[in-house]
Amino acid sequence: MHVQSTAVEAATPPVLECDGARASIRLNRPKHLNRLQAEDLDVLLRLFDRIEADSAMRVLVLTGTGRAFSAGYDLNSVAERAASAAEESAGSAFEIVVNRLEDLALPTICRLNGGVYGGATDLALACDFRIGVDTGEMFMPAARLGLHYYKSGIARYVSRLGADNAKKLFLTAEKISAPEMLRIGYLTAMVPPESLDEEVDRLATLLAGNAPVAMAGMKRTINEIARGKLDEAAADQRARDSMRGEEIKEGVRAFAEKRPPKF
């Protein structure tokens, strides 16, 4: 996979960077708090496909440039589409991106380098893990804007955070701080800004060293259970397949030899 330049630009589409088994996508519009534009959505979908197709990639880290993770999706784009019945299908474009991120086969980490707002709160929630700085904050302003959020996003809030926390965040549109984000389970871990990279690196290294097929299968099963849409036969088949697959052979050998497995 080609490694793109890591140079920070004032306003560019999301940037892909690769380092060993880790792929990183960095939102890169810092002057606008990494607000996502319509053109960014197609870029993200292409990057997701590219990363998932590369067997060398074992973990994805999603982060932002500058002082915020993301201010969400451009509200002007939402309003323009809402005014046009012909563009009704495009209204789901952001939802498609978030759902695709949640369904990625490899494990995902959101590196919350700062505040997270609007639709970006759902983008982060679609990741398997969220590590944020203790100076961060979040809020979902849908009720203040007169917007009924899309149903898969609300479902993700409910399944991850519970109905009461989802109601508090959606219906009050109140801003909450990083300690509260941790308390309600939005954050997997909260760290000082100077420790953010260390904690992300620790988790990414751990995930990259585990069995990718087993992880992908269990992630799919967990997500299906969370949605109340478990394909029981397929989950049972994945479990049976794992018992005679190459990963378990290597895992057992490594355990017996007291060494890290090589998947």
Element of type H or E holding 19: strand 15-19
- Is residue 261 one of the residues assigned to a domain? no
**Structure confidence at residue 80 (pLDDT):** 56
Residues 77 and 129 in one domain: yes
Same domain, 153 and 121: yes
Q: What is the DSSP letter of 47?
A: H
Same domain, 152 and 188: yes
Whether 114 and 67 have beta carbons less than 8 Å apart is answered as yes
Domain annotation covers residue 42: yes
CA distances from 86 to 57, 74, 78, 80, 110 (A): 39, 19, 13, 11, 34
Q: Write down the pLDDT at residue 73.
A: 93
- Convert the pLDDT of each residue in 14-46 to its tens digit: 999 999 999 999 999 999 999 999 999 999 999
Q: What is the torsion angle, in degrees rounded to the nearest 10, for the CA atoms of residue 69, residue 121, residue 79 and residue 173?
A: -110
Return d(Cα 113, Cα 133) in angstroms, integer: 6
| Same domain, yes or no: 97 and 165 | yes
CB 139 within 8 A of CB 174: yes
What is the structure's pLDDT at 74?
A: 85
Residue 3 lies in a domain: no
- Residue 5 maps to a domain: no
Burial of 132 (0-12, 13-18, 19+ CB in 10 A): buried
Domain extent at residue 20: 15-208
**Count of domains for the chain:** 2
Task: Tell me the two tokens of residue 83.
Answer: 């005014």
Same domain, 25 and 94: yes
Distance, in Å, from the CA atom of 75 to the CA atom of 118, rounded to the nearest integer, reads 10
Q: What rounded mean pLDDT belongs to the chain?
A: 92
Same domain as 142, residue 180: yes
Whether residues 69 and 195 fall in one domain: yes
Q: Kindly tell me if the per-residue pLDDT of 148 is higher than 70.
A: yes
pLDDT at site 89: 46
Question: Which pTM value belongs to this model?
Answer: 0.90
Can you read off the two tokens belonging to residue 21? 């088994």
Do residue 176 and residue 89 come from a single domain?
Answer: yes
Nearest to 125 by CA among 199, 53, 72: 72
What percent of the chain is predicted at pLDDT more than 70? Answer: 90
Give pLDDT, residue 3: 39
The per-residue pLDDT for range 64-121, each reduced to its tens digit, is 999 999 999 987 655 555 545 444 444 589 999 999 999 999 999 999 999 999 999 9
Residue 217 lies in a domain: yes
Residues 195 and 251 in one domain: no
Residue 8, domain member (yes or no): no
Task: Say if 196 falls within a structural domain.
Answer: yes
CATH number at residue 199: 3.90.226.10
Angstrom distance (rounded) from CA 253 to CA 114: 42
On whether both 197 and 101 belong to a single domain, the answer is yes
